[in-house]
Structure 1
Amino acid sequence: MKIAVVQTASTQDKAANRDLVTRLVADAVRSGPELVVLPEAIMADFATEGGSVGELAEPLDGEFVGTLRKLAAEHGVAIVAGMFERSCDEVRPYNTLLTVGSDGDLLGAYRKIHLYDAFGYRESDQLTSGDVAPVVVEVAGLKLGLMTCYDLRFPELSRALVDAGAEAFVVPAAWVRGPLKEYHWTTLLTARAIENTCYVAAAAQNGKKYCGLSQIIDPQGIAVAAVGEADGFAVAELSTERLAETRRRNPSLLNRRFTVAPR
Protein backbone atom coordinates (compact mmCIF):
# COMPACT_ATOMS: atom_id res chain seq x y z
CA MET A 1 0.00 0.00 0.00
CA LYS A 2 1.22 3.46 -0.85
CA ILE A 3 0.75 6.02 1.91
CA ALA A 4 1.20 9.79 2.15
CA VAL A 5 1.81 11.69 5.41
CA VAL A 6 0.90 15.37 5.24
CA GLN A 7 2.58 18.11 7.27
CA THR A 8 1.02 21.51 7.95
CA ALA A 9 -0.27 23.69 10.81
CA SER A 10 -3.91 24.31 11.66
CA THR A 11 -5.49 27.36 13.29
CA GLN A 12 -8.71 27.80 15.24
CA ASP A 13 -10.46 28.93 12.05
CA LYS A 14 -12.29 25.72 11.16
CA ALA A 15 -13.46 26.89 7.74
CA ALA A 16 -9.91 27.83 6.77
CA ASN A 17 -8.68 24.46 8.04
CA ARG A 18 -11.26 22.62 5.91
CA ASP A 19 -10.07 24.56 2.87
CA LEU A 20 -6.47 23.70 3.76
CA VAL A 21 -7.29 20.00 4.12
CA THR A 22 -9.12 20.03 0.78
CA ARG A 23 -6.09 21.53 -0.98
CA LEU A 24 -3.52 19.32 0.73
CA VAL A 25 -5.38 16.09 0.05
CA ALA A 26 -5.75 17.10 -3.60
CA ASP A 27 -1.99 17.74 -3.75
CA ALA A 28 -1.08 14.46 -2.05
CA VAL A 29 -3.30 12.22 -4.19
CA ARG A 30 -1.35 13.21 -7.30
CA SER A 31 1.34 10.82 -6.05
CA GLY A 32 -1.14 7.95 -6.07
CA PRO A 33 -1.45 6.96 -2.39
CA GLU A 34 -4.21 4.69 -1.14
CA LEU A 35 -4.11 6.42 2.27
CA VAL A 36 -3.50 10.06 3.21
CA VAL A 37 -2.64 10.78 6.86
CA LEU A 38 -3.23 14.29 8.22
CA PRO A 39 -1.95 15.64 11.57
CA GLU A 40 -3.57 15.64 14.97
CA ALA A 41 -6.01 18.53 15.59
CA ILE A 42 -6.14 19.45 11.91
CA MET A 43 -9.83 20.36 12.30
CA ALA A 44 -8.85 23.06 14.80
CA ASP A 45 -5.71 23.80 16.78
CA PHE A 46 -5.47 23.46 20.54
CA ALA A 47 -6.49 26.42 22.69
CA THR A 48 -3.88 28.39 24.57
CA GLU A 49 -3.09 27.36 28.14
CA GLY A 50 -6.19 27.85 30.27
CA GLY A 51 -8.45 28.03 27.20
CA SER A 52 -11.07 25.60 25.91
CA VAL A 53 -11.74 23.82 22.63
CA GLY A 54 -15.22 22.82 23.76
CA GLU A 55 -16.98 25.27 21.45
CA LEU A 56 -14.91 24.07 18.48
CA ALA A 57 -15.81 20.40 18.91
CA GLU A 58 -18.10 18.65 16.44
CA PRO A 59 -19.95 15.31 16.31
CA LEU A 60 -18.88 12.53 13.96
CA ASP A 61 -21.62 13.58 11.53
CA GLY A 62 -20.50 17.24 11.59
CA GLU A 63 -19.02 19.54 8.98
CA PHE A 64 -15.40 18.41 9.32
CA VAL A 65 -16.17 14.72 8.98
CA GLY A 66 -18.47 15.53 6.09
CA THR A 67 -15.58 17.25 4.33
CA LEU A 68 -13.31 14.24 4.85
CA ARG A 69 -15.93 11.80 3.58
CA LYS A 70 -16.53 13.91 0.48
CA LEU A 71 -12.79 14.19 -0.24
CA ALA A 72 -12.24 10.45 0.26
CA ALA A 73 -15.03 9.51 -2.13
CA GLU A 74 -14.06 12.17 -4.67
CA HIS A 75 -10.41 11.09 -4.83
CA GLY A 76 -10.89 7.39 -4.10
CA VAL A 77 -8.44 7.53 -1.19
CA ALA A 78 -8.69 6.62 2.51
CA ILE A 79 -7.97 9.44 4.99
CA VAL A 80 -6.90 9.57 8.64
CA ALA A 81 -7.22 12.94 10.42
CA GLY A 82 -7.44 14.41 13.91
CA MET A 83 -10.37 16.40 15.33
CA PHE A 84 -12.05 17.42 18.56
CA GLU A 85 -15.19 15.32 18.98
CA ARG A 86 -18.04 16.24 21.29
CA SER A 87 -18.26 14.18 24.45
CA CYS A 88 -20.66 14.08 27.39
CA ASP A 89 -18.59 16.93 28.87
CA GLU A 90 -19.40 20.12 26.94
CA VAL A 91 -16.12 21.76 27.99
CA ARG A 92 -13.82 18.77 27.46
CA PRO A 93 -14.32 16.94 24.14
CA TYR A 94 -12.38 13.95 22.86
CA ASN A 95 -9.17 14.23 20.86
CA THR A 96 -10.24 11.86 18.08
CA LEU A 97 -8.61 10.24 15.05
CA LEU A 98 -10.98 9.40 12.23
CA THR A 99 -10.40 6.86 9.50
CA VAL A 100 -12.51 7.31 6.38
CA GLY A 101 -12.48 4.69 3.63
CA SER A 102 -11.94 5.39 -0.04
CA ASP A 103 -15.71 5.15 -0.58
CA GLY A 104 -16.36 7.84 2.03
CA ASP A 105 -17.55 5.45 4.74
CA LEU A 106 -16.35 5.96 8.31
CA LEU A 107 -14.13 2.97 9.16
CA GLY A 108 -13.27 3.83 12.74
CA ALA A 109 -12.63 6.46 15.39
CA TYR A 110 -9.90 6.40 18.03
CA ARG A 111 -10.21 8.70 21.04
CA LYS A 112 -6.81 9.58 22.46
CA ILE A 113 -6.06 7.60 25.60
CA HIS A 114 -2.95 9.31 26.96
CA LEU A 115 -3.53 13.04 27.40
CA TYR A 116 -0.50 15.31 27.34
CA ASP A 117 -0.12 16.23 31.02
CA ALA A 118 3.63 16.77 30.79
CA PHE A 119 6.32 19.38 30.17
CA GLY A 120 4.26 21.98 32.02
CA TYR A 121 1.08 21.46 29.96
CA ARG A 122 -2.23 19.83 30.95
CA GLU A 123 -4.20 18.50 28.00
CA SER A 124 -6.66 16.91 30.44
CA ASP A 125 -7.87 20.40 31.38
CA GLN A 126 -9.20 20.75 27.81
CA LEU A 127 -10.02 17.18 26.80
CA THR A 128 -11.55 13.88 27.92
CA SER A 129 -9.54 10.69 27.45
CA GLY A 130 -10.94 7.77 25.49
CA ASP A 131 -11.52 4.20 26.55
CA VAL A 132 -8.39 2.15 27.19
CA ALA A 133 -8.68 -0.14 24.18
CA PRO A 134 -6.62 -0.51 20.98
CA VAL A 135 -8.24 0.55 17.71
CA VAL A 136 -7.17 -1.21 14.50
CA VAL A 137 -8.70 -0.52 11.09
CA GLU A 138 -8.04 -2.16 7.74
CA VAL A 139 -7.22 -0.11 4.65
CA ALA A 140 -6.29 -1.66 1.30
CA GLY A 141 -5.62 -5.01 2.98
CA LEU A 142 -3.26 -3.58 5.62
CA LYS A 143 -4.16 -3.42 9.31
CA LEU A 144 -3.43 -0.02 10.85
CA GLY A 145 -3.09 0.68 14.57
CA LEU A 146 -4.12 4.20 15.53
CA MET A 147 -2.10 6.33 17.95
CA THR A 148 -2.04 10.07 18.66
CA CYS A 149 1.06 12.10 19.55
CA TYR A 150 1.73 11.59 23.30
CA ASP A 151 0.57 7.95 22.97
CA LEU A 152 3.96 7.38 21.37
CA ARG A 153 5.61 7.53 24.80
CA PHE A 154 3.67 4.49 26.02
CA PRO A 155 5.02 1.27 24.44
CA GLU A 156 2.27 -0.82 26.02
CA LEU A 157 -0.24 0.74 23.61
CA SER A 158 1.84 -0.21 20.59
CA ARG A 159 2.12 -3.77 21.94
CA ALA A 160 -1.66 -3.92 22.39
CA LEU A 161 -2.12 -2.71 18.82
CA VAL A 162 0.28 -5.34 17.46
CA ASP A 163 -1.51 -8.05 19.44
CA ALA A 164 -4.75 -6.78 17.87
CA GLY A 165 -3.21 -7.40 14.45
CA ALA A 166 -1.63 -4.05 13.53
CA GLU A 167 0.98 -4.21 10.77
CA ALA A 168 1.58 -0.45 10.75
CA PHE A 169 1.06 2.37 13.23
CA VAL A 170 -0.49 5.62 12.04
CA VAL A 171 0.59 8.49 14.32
CA PRO A 172 -0.92 11.93 13.69
CA ALA A 173 0.64 14.45 16.06
CA ALA A 174 1.05 18.03 17.17
CA TRP A 175 4.41 17.44 18.87
CA VAL A 176 5.27 20.59 20.78
CA ARG A 177 8.70 22.10 20.24
CA GLY A 178 11.14 22.28 23.14
CA PRO A 179 14.57 21.20 24.39
CA LEU A 180 15.31 17.72 23.03
CA LYS A 181 11.66 17.27 21.97
CA GLU A 182 12.55 16.72 18.31
CA TYR A 183 15.05 14.07 19.41
CA HIS A 184 12.38 12.37 21.52
CA TRP A 185 9.97 12.39 18.57
CA THR A 186 12.32 10.78 16.07
CA THR A 187 13.75 8.33 18.61
CA LEU A 188 10.36 7.11 19.79
CA LEU A 189 9.01 6.72 16.26
CA THR A 190 12.02 4.60 15.38
CA ALA A 191 11.80 2.57 18.58
CA ARG A 192 8.12 1.74 18.06
CA ALA A 193 8.94 0.50 14.55
CA ILE A 194 11.93 -1.62 15.57
CA GLU A 195 10.52 -3.19 18.72
CA ASN A 196 7.24 -4.11 17.01
CA THR A 197 8.73 -4.91 13.58
CA CYS A 198 6.10 -2.80 11.88
CA TYR A 199 5.76 0.34 9.77
CA VAL A 200 5.17 3.72 11.41
CA ALA A 201 3.56 6.58 9.48
CA ALA A 202 3.71 9.88 11.38
CA ALA A 203 2.02 13.08 10.20
CA ALA A 204 2.85 16.09 12.36
CA GLN A 205 1.90 19.72 12.64
CA ASN A 206 4.70 22.25 12.12
CA GLY A 207 5.12 26.01 12.50
CA LYS A 208 6.10 28.00 15.57
CA LYS A 209 4.44 25.65 18.09
CA TYR A 210 5.15 22.21 16.68
CA CYS A 211 8.24 20.40 15.41
CA GLY A 212 7.10 18.90 12.11
CA LEU A 213 9.48 16.11 11.01
CA SER A 214 6.74 13.92 9.55
CA GLN A 215 8.07 10.59 8.31
CA ILE A 216 7.41 7.00 7.31
CA ILE A 217 9.60 4.37 8.98
CA ASP A 218 9.94 0.76 7.88
CA PRO A 219 10.00 -2.32 10.18
CA GLN A 220 13.79 -2.17 10.40
CA GLY A 221 13.66 1.39 11.77
CA ILE A 222 14.70 3.14 8.56
CA ALA A 223 13.00 6.41 7.60
CA VAL A 224 12.10 5.71 3.98
CA ALA A 225 10.39 9.08 3.42
CA ALA A 226 10.36 12.29 5.44
CA VAL A 227 9.45 15.99 5.55
CA GLY A 228 11.57 18.58 7.35
CA GLU A 229 10.00 21.64 8.95
CA ALA A 230 8.08 23.13 6.00
CA ASP A 231 4.60 22.29 4.74
CA GLY A 232 4.54 19.28 2.45
CA PHE A 233 4.03 15.56 2.30
CA ALA A 234 6.07 12.36 2.08
CA VAL A 235 5.03 9.22 0.22
CA ALA A 236 6.23 5.64 0.59
CA GLU A 237 5.18 2.11 -0.28
CA LEU A 238 4.36 -0.18 2.64
CA SER A 239 5.32 -3.69 1.61
CA THR A 240 3.72 -6.71 3.25
CA GLU A 241 6.60 -8.79 1.85
CA ARG A 242 9.18 -6.64 3.66
CA LEU A 243 7.07 -6.78 6.81
CA ALA A 244 6.89 -10.58 6.69
CA GLU A 245 10.60 -10.93 5.92
CA THR A 246 11.56 -8.59 8.78
CA ARG A 247 9.41 -10.54 11.22
CA ARG A 248 10.87 -13.82 9.97
CA ARG A 249 14.47 -12.63 10.44
CA ASN A 250 13.73 -10.84 13.71
CA PRO A 251 10.95 -12.80 15.48
CA SER A 252 11.04 -10.62 18.60
CA LEU A 253 7.24 -10.59 18.89
CA LEU A 254 7.22 -14.39 19.01
CA ASN A 255 10.14 -14.47 21.45
CA ARG A 256 8.46 -12.37 24.13
CA ARG A 257 8.34 -13.89 27.62
CA PHE A 258 6.11 -11.49 29.57
CA THR A 259 3.03 -12.09 27.39
CA VAL A 260 1.84 -14.81 25.11
CA ALA A 261 3.01 -13.82 21.65
CA PRO A 262 0.55 -14.22 18.75
CA ARG A 263 1.32 -17.17 16.47
Structure 2
Amino acid sequence: MRTTSNPQLRIGLAQVNSGTDPAANLRIIKRHVSDAAARGVDVVVFPEAMMCRFGVPLGEIAEPISGDWARAVDEIASEAGVTVVAGMFTPGDGPRVRNTLLITGPETRTHYDKIHLYDAFGYSESDTVSAGDHLVTAKVKGVTIGFATCYDIRFPAMFQELAAAGADLVAVSASWGAGEGKVDQWTLLARARALDSTTFVAACGQADPAVSGEITTGTAPLGVGHSMVCDPSGAVIGQLGSGPDLLVADIDTAAVRRVRDSLPVLRNRRRIDASMIGSAVPS
Protein backbone atom coordinates (compact mmCIF):
# COMPACT_ATOMS: atom_id res chain seq x y z
CA MET A 1 0.00 0.00 0.00
CA ARG A 2 1.41 3.40 -0.97
CA THR A 3 1.57 6.31 1.45
CA THR A 4 2.31 9.95 0.83
CA SER A 5 5.36 9.96 3.08
CA ASN A 6 6.96 6.79 1.75
CA PRO A 7 5.67 6.09 -1.76
CA GLN A 8 6.31 2.73 -3.39
CA LEU A 9 6.84 1.70 -6.97
CA ARG A 10 7.10 -1.55 -8.90
CA ILE A 11 9.75 -1.37 -11.60
CA GLY A 12 10.48 -3.75 -14.46
CA LEU A 13 13.79 -4.06 -16.29
CA ALA A 14 13.33 -5.47 -19.80
CA GLN A 15 16.70 -6.97 -20.73
CA VAL A 16 16.38 -7.50 -24.48
CA ASN A 17 18.37 -7.14 -27.70
CA SER A 18 17.33 -4.44 -30.14
CA GLY A 19 18.05 -4.85 -33.82
CA THR A 20 18.54 -2.43 -36.69
CA ASP A 21 14.85 -2.09 -37.63
CA PRO A 22 13.06 0.54 -35.48
CA ALA A 23 9.64 -0.93 -36.32
CA ALA A 24 10.70 -4.40 -35.16
CA ASN A 25 12.11 -2.86 -32.00
CA LEU A 26 8.72 -1.25 -31.29
CA ARG A 27 7.19 -4.73 -31.37
CA ILE A 28 9.76 -5.87 -28.80
CA ILE A 29 8.82 -2.92 -26.57
CA LYS A 30 5.09 -3.59 -26.92
CA ARG A 31 5.45 -7.26 -26.02
CA HIS A 32 7.56 -6.65 -22.94
CA VAL A 33 5.44 -3.73 -21.74
CA SER A 34 2.40 -6.00 -21.93
CA ASP A 35 4.19 -8.71 -19.93
CA ALA A 36 5.37 -6.20 -17.33
CA ALA A 37 1.96 -4.56 -16.97
CA ALA A 38 0.43 -7.99 -16.32
CA ARG A 39 2.82 -8.25 -13.35
CA GLY A 40 1.68 -4.94 -11.90
CA VAL A 41 4.71 -2.90 -12.98
CA ASP A 42 4.47 0.91 -12.84
CA VAL A 43 7.66 1.71 -14.79
CA VAL A 44 9.32 -0.43 -17.49
CA VAL A 45 12.96 0.41 -18.21
CA PHE A 46 14.42 -0.71 -21.53
CA PRO A 47 18.07 -0.52 -22.58
CA GLU A 48 19.91 2.24 -24.35
CA ALA A 49 19.67 2.14 -28.17
CA MET A 50 16.25 0.45 -28.24
CA MET A 51 15.33 2.37 -31.38
CA CYS A 52 18.33 0.87 -33.16
CA ARG A 53 21.36 -0.99 -31.91
CA PHE A 54 24.85 0.45 -32.19
CA GLY A 55 27.23 -0.46 -35.00
CA VAL A 56 25.23 0.97 -37.93
CA PRO A 57 24.88 4.58 -39.22
CA LEU A 58 22.55 6.39 -36.83
CA GLY A 59 21.99 9.67 -38.68
CA GLU A 60 19.41 8.16 -41.02
CA ILE A 61 17.64 6.50 -38.06
CA ALA A 62 17.33 9.54 -35.77
CA GLU A 63 13.94 11.22 -35.33
CA PRO A 64 12.76 14.18 -33.24
CA ILE A 65 11.32 13.42 -29.82
CA SER A 66 7.97 14.36 -31.40
CA GLY A 67 8.46 11.92 -34.28
CA ASP A 68 6.65 8.74 -35.27
CA TRP A 69 8.82 6.32 -33.29
CA ALA A 70 8.49 8.23 -30.02
CA ARG A 71 4.74 8.68 -30.55
CA ALA A 72 4.41 4.92 -31.04
CA VAL A 73 6.12 4.37 -27.67
CA ASP A 74 3.72 6.95 -26.17
CA GLU A 75 0.80 4.87 -27.42
CA ILE A 76 2.24 1.64 -26.03
CA ALA A 77 2.72 3.25 -22.62
CA SER A 78 -0.75 4.80 -22.67
CA GLU A 79 -2.49 1.57 -23.62
CA ALA A 80 -0.73 -0.34 -20.84
CA GLY A 81 -1.08 2.43 -18.25
CA VAL A 82 2.63 2.33 -17.38
CA THR A 83 5.65 4.61 -17.77
CA VAL A 84 8.17 3.46 -20.37
CA VAL A 85 11.86 4.41 -20.47
CA ALA A 86 13.57 3.54 -23.75
CA GLY A 87 16.70 4.62 -25.58
CA MET A 88 16.39 6.30 -28.98
CA PHE A 89 18.34 8.68 -31.21
CA THR A 90 17.32 12.26 -31.96
CA PRO A 91 18.96 14.83 -34.26
CA GLY A 92 22.09 16.43 -32.78
CA ASP A 93 24.62 19.01 -33.92
CA GLY A 94 25.28 18.88 -37.65
CA PRO A 95 25.48 15.27 -38.85
CA ARG A 96 25.63 13.89 -35.30
CA VAL A 97 22.72 12.53 -33.27
CA ARG A 98 21.85 12.66 -29.58
CA ASN A 99 21.68 9.51 -27.49
CA THR A 100 18.28 10.12 -25.92
CA LEU A 101 16.18 8.39 -23.29
CA LEU A 102 12.46 8.80 -23.91
CA ILE A 103 10.45 8.78 -20.66
CA THR A 104 6.71 8.58 -21.32
CA GLY A 105 3.60 7.46 -19.48
CA PRO A 106 0.36 8.55 -17.83
CA GLU A 107 2.11 10.98 -15.45
CA THR A 108 5.08 12.28 -17.43
CA ARG A 109 6.54 12.89 -20.87
CA THR A 110 10.16 14.04 -20.96
CA HIS A 111 13.57 12.99 -22.25
CA TYR A 112 17.20 12.85 -21.20
CA ASP A 113 20.18 13.31 -23.57
CA LYS A 114 23.24 11.32 -22.54
CA ILE A 115 25.87 13.61 -20.99
CA HIS A 116 28.97 11.38 -20.79
CA LEU A 117 29.86 9.95 -24.19
CA TYR A 118 31.57 6.60 -24.49
CA ASP A 119 35.01 7.48 -25.83
CA ALA A 120 36.75 4.48 -24.29
CA PHE A 121 37.90 0.91 -24.91
CA GLY A 122 38.53 1.62 -28.59
CA TYR A 123 35.10 3.16 -29.30
CA SER A 124 34.43 6.85 -29.96
CA GLU A 125 30.79 7.72 -29.41
CA SER A 126 31.47 11.45 -29.74
CA ASP A 127 32.34 10.98 -33.43
CA THR A 128 28.65 10.47 -34.17
CA VAL A 129 26.82 11.66 -31.02
CA SER A 130 26.39 15.12 -29.48
CA ALA A 131 26.48 15.28 -25.68
CA GLY A 132 23.56 16.43 -23.56
CA ASP A 133 24.04 19.13 -20.95
CA HIS A 134 21.39 18.80 -18.24
CA LEU A 135 20.10 16.30 -15.69
CA VAL A 136 16.51 15.06 -15.76
CA THR A 137 14.14 13.77 -13.09
CA ALA A 138 10.48 12.76 -13.29
CA LYS A 139 7.89 11.73 -10.72
CA VAL A 140 5.90 8.50 -11.05
CA LYS A 141 3.48 7.30 -8.35
CA GLY A 142 5.03 9.84 -5.99
CA VAL A 143 8.59 8.52 -6.51
CA THR A 144 11.17 10.88 -8.02
CA ILE A 145 13.31 9.09 -10.61
CA GLY A 146 16.58 10.33 -12.07
CA PHE A 147 17.89 9.11 -15.42
CA ALA A 148 21.30 8.10 -16.72
CA THR A 149 22.66 6.26 -19.74
CA CYS A 150 25.41 3.63 -19.83
CA TYR A 151 28.80 5.38 -19.52
CA ASP A 152 27.20 7.90 -17.13
CA ILE A 153 27.37 5.18 -14.47
CA ARG A 154 31.13 5.75 -14.18
CA PHE A 155 30.61 9.31 -12.88
CA PRO A 156 29.50 9.34 -9.23
CA ALA A 157 28.95 13.10 -9.00
CA MET A 158 26.09 12.82 -11.49
CA PHE A 159 24.25 10.34 -9.28
CA GLN A 160 24.83 12.45 -6.18
CA GLU A 161 23.45 15.51 -7.98
CA LEU A 162 20.36 13.56 -9.03
CA ALA A 163 19.88 12.45 -5.42
CA ALA A 164 20.34 16.04 -4.21
CA ALA A 165 17.64 17.03 -6.71
CA GLY A 166 15.24 14.63 -4.98
CA ALA A 167 15.76 11.31 -6.76
CA ASP A 168 15.01 8.20 -4.70
CA LEU A 169 15.71 5.97 -7.70
CA VAL A 170 18.03 6.34 -10.68
CA ALA A 171 17.15 4.37 -13.82
CA VAL A 172 20.16 3.55 -15.98
CA SER A 173 19.67 2.33 -19.54
CA ALA A 174 22.73 0.78 -21.15
CA SER A 175 24.20 -1.16 -24.03
CA TRP A 176 27.36 -2.17 -22.19
CA GLY A 177 30.44 -3.11 -24.16
CA ALA A 178 31.80 -6.62 -23.79
CA GLY A 179 35.37 -7.39 -22.79
CA GLU A 180 37.55 -8.78 -20.04
CA GLY A 181 36.23 -7.73 -16.65
CA LYS A 182 33.42 -5.62 -18.10
CA VAL A 183 30.56 -7.52 -16.42
CA ASP A 184 32.30 -7.16 -13.06
CA GLN A 185 32.75 -3.44 -13.69
CA TRP A 186 29.07 -3.03 -14.60
CA THR A 187 27.81 -4.74 -11.45
CA LEU A 188 30.37 -3.03 -9.22
CA LEU A 189 29.51 0.41 -10.63
CA ALA A 190 25.76 -0.09 -10.19
CA ARG A 191 26.24 -1.02 -6.54
CA ALA A 192 28.72 1.80 -5.95
CA ARG A 193 26.43 4.45 -7.49
CA ALA A 194 23.57 3.27 -5.27
CA LEU A 195 25.76 3.45 -2.18
CA ASP A 196 27.46 6.77 -2.83
CA SER A 197 24.17 8.49 -3.74
CA THR A 198 21.99 6.51 -1.27
CA THR A 199 19.38 5.90 -3.96
CA PHE A 200 17.96 2.80 -5.52
CA VAL A 201 19.68 2.11 -8.85
CA ALA A 202 17.85 0.16 -11.56
CA ALA A 203 20.43 -0.62 -14.25
CA CYS A 204 18.99 -2.20 -17.41
CA GLY A 205 21.31 -3.31 -20.18
CA GLN A 206 20.99 -5.00 -23.54
CA ALA A 207 21.23 -8.78 -23.29
CA ASP A 208 24.39 -10.48 -24.53
CA PRO A 209 23.67 -11.18 -28.23
CA ALA A 210 25.95 -14.23 -28.09
CA VAL A 211 23.38 -15.95 -25.86
CA SER A 212 20.99 -15.90 -28.82
CA GLY A 213 23.70 -17.30 -31.10
CA GLU A 214 24.65 -14.05 -32.78
CA ILE A 215 28.27 -13.65 -33.85
CA THR A 216 29.40 -10.05 -33.38
CA THR A 217 32.51 -8.20 -34.49
CA GLY A 218 33.94 -4.70 -33.99
CA THR A 219 33.99 -2.44 -30.94
CA ALA A 220 30.36 -1.27 -30.91
CA PRO A 221 28.83 -1.88 -27.44
CA LEU A 222 26.02 -4.41 -27.94
CA GLY A 223 25.33 -5.63 -24.41
CA VAL A 224 26.40 -8.11 -21.75
CA GLY A 225 23.17 -8.50 -19.78
CA HIS A 226 23.30 -8.69 -15.97
CA SER A 227 20.67 -6.00 -15.40
CA MET A 228 20.18 -5.36 -11.70
CA VAL A 229 18.41 -3.38 -9.01
CA CYS A 230 20.40 -2.18 -6.00
CA ASP A 231 19.06 -0.64 -2.81
CA PRO A 232 20.44 2.56 -1.23
CA SER A 233 22.95 0.58 0.81
CA GLY A 234 24.42 -0.97 -2.33
CA ALA A 235 22.86 -4.39 -1.76
CA VAL A 236 21.58 -6.25 -4.83
CA ILE A 237 17.86 -6.97 -4.58
CA GLY A 238 17.50 -8.51 -8.03
CA GLN A 239 19.81 -9.44 -10.91
CA LEU A 240 19.51 -11.20 -14.26
CA GLY A 241 21.97 -13.34 -16.16
CA SER A 242 23.24 -12.76 -19.69
CA GLY A 243 20.19 -13.57 -21.79
CA PRO A 244 16.87 -11.86 -22.49
CA ASP A 245 14.62 -11.67 -19.42
CA LEU A 246 12.40 -9.39 -17.33
CA LEU A 247 13.39 -8.37 -13.80
CA VAL A 248 10.67 -7.01 -11.50
CA ALA A 249 11.48 -5.30 -8.20
CA ASP A 250 9.58 -3.26 -5.64
CA ILE A 251 10.98 0.13 -4.63
CA ASP A 252 10.06 1.32 -1.12
CA THR A 253 11.32 4.83 -0.54
CA ALA A 254 11.21 4.27 3.22
CA ALA A 255 14.52 2.44 2.68
CA VAL A 256 16.02 5.64 1.24
CA ARG A 257 15.02 7.57 4.36
CA ARG A 258 16.46 4.88 6.66
CA VAL A 259 19.81 4.72 4.87
CA ARG A 260 20.16 8.49 4.65
CA ASP A 261 19.45 8.84 8.37
CA SER A 262 22.34 6.51 9.21
CA LEU A 263 24.64 7.34 6.26
CA PRO A 264 24.12 11.04 5.43
CA VAL A 265 26.72 11.27 2.66
CA LEU A 266 24.66 13.83 0.73
CA ARG A 267 24.51 16.09 3.76
CA ASN A 268 28.15 15.52 4.71
CA ARG A 269 29.74 15.91 1.28
CA ARG A 270 31.89 18.94 0.47
CA ARG A 271 32.55 20.40 -2.94
CA ILE A 272 36.14 19.60 -3.89
CA ASP A 273 38.05 21.64 -6.45
CA ALA A 274 41.66 22.18 -7.49
CA SER A 275 42.08 25.15 -5.16
CA MET A 276 41.93 22.75 -2.21
CA ILE A 277 44.97 20.80 -3.38
CA GLY A 278 48.30 21.92 -1.98
CA SER A 279 51.59 20.72 -0.58
CA ALA A 280 51.85 19.87 3.10
CA VAL A 281 53.62 22.55 5.11
CA PRO A 282 56.27 21.17 7.51
CA SER A 283 55.45 21.89 11.14
Instruction: Give the distance between the partners of 1:100 and 1:140, measured in 2 at CA.
Output: 13
Q: Give 2:75's match in structure 1, choosing from 70, 74, 83.
A: 70
Instruction: Please state if 1:109 is matched with 2:111.
Output: yes
Equivalent residues of 1:75, 1:102 under 8 A apart: no
Instruction: Please state if 1:80 is matched with 2:85.
Output: yes
Alpha-carbon distance, 1:191 to partner = 0.2
SS in 2 for 1:238: strand
The aligned counterpart of 1:240 is 253
The aligned counterpart of 1:99 is 103
Alpha-carbon distance, 1:114 to partner = 0.7
SS in 2 for 1:26: helix
The aligned counterpart of 1:135 is 136
Equivalent residues of 2:103, 2:111 under 8 A apart: yes
**1:4-63 deviations in whole A, cap 9, x for unaligned?**
011011111111111111111111111101111010000111125xxx210000111212
Counterpart residue type for residue 79 of structure 1: V
Instruction: Give the distance between the partners of 2:135 and 2:74, measured in 1 at CA.
Output: 23
Q: Give 2:124's match in structure 1, choosing from 113, 118, 122.
A: 122
Instruction: Give the distance between the partners of 1:47 and 1:84, measured in 2 at CA.
Output: 13
Unaligned runs of 5+ in 1: none
1:211-250 equivalence runs, <5 A = 211-250=224-263
Instruction: Give the distance between the partners of 1:253 and 1:99, measured in 2 at CA.
Output: 26
The aligned counterpart of 2:66 is 61
Alpha-carbon distance, 1:222 to partner = 1.4
Instruction: Give the distance between the partners of 1:149 and 1:61, measured in 2 at CA.
Output: 24
TM-score (norm: length of structure 2)? 0.86
1:11-90 equivalence runs, <5 A = 11-48=19-56, 52-89=57-94
Unaligned runs of 5+ in 2: 1-8, 211-221, 273-283
Equivalent residues of 1:79, 1:102 under 8 A apart: no
Displaced runs of 4+ in structure 1, greater than 4 A? Answer: none
Equivalent residues of 2:92, 2:129 under 8 A apart: no
